[in-house]
Amino acid sequence: MSEYFHLRAVPPSALRNSTTWMQRLFEDDWETVRERIGRHREEMLDGRYLDHALLYAGPGRGRGDSPGAQVVLGGRPLPHPIQGRPPFRVLTAAQAHRVAAFLSAADFDALWNPARTALLPRYGGSDAEPWTRGAFAAAHRDLRAFYEQTSLYGDAVVKWVLP
């Protein structure tokens, strides 16, 4: 079964500090999720989400609280109520705004070039570079659109890995 990393925009006034509430936040049917993705109110990364994190926060780039490190795995962790499940992560509206500004100004090639050496062997080597680069560039465009829309609305972001 594939894992998916979900990012969901949430108005700060609706945000709850309850892991039960957060779990329910991600229990919608796929049609509802697809509709929110189309409006850039939710985004999903497949099981390669750790590689996407490397693209933004890899060697020589963002660490900890920097916008690059916040794109994928950033946010305050809240433990899942079921032992062994990944924690939820919450970015405040201000953090989401900083990530949106980072992604809007980021040049994909400047992100790709230092990360490609680590990423290409995982996806078939240099022969697969056009496909691999294209997949990461498409995800970058989707993440940028998601965070720009989130910032425009002044929303926070809740993240979670779904099996």
Contacts of 57 (CB under 8 A, 6+ apart): 63, 66, 68, 69, 71, 72, 73
The DSSP secondary structure of 25-78, one letter per residue, reads: HT---HHHHHHHHHTTSEEEE-TTHHHHHHHHH-TTS--TTSHHHHSSS-SEEE
Domain boundaries defined on the chain: 10-157
pLDDT in tens, 17-29: 888 888 888 888 8
Cα(163)–Cα(146) distance, integer angstroms = 22
pLDDT in tens, 78-134: 998 888 888 999 999 999 999 999 999 999 999 999 999 999 999 999 999 999 999
Cα(128)–Cα(131) distance, integer angstroms = 6
Query: pTM for this one?
Result: 0.91
Closest Cα partner for 9 from 149, 123, 161?
Answer: 149
pLDDT in tens, 42-67: 899 988 898 999 999 876 555 567 89
Q: How many helices (H) and strands (E) does the chain have?
A: 7, 5
Cα(159)–Cα(25) distance, integer angstroms = 10
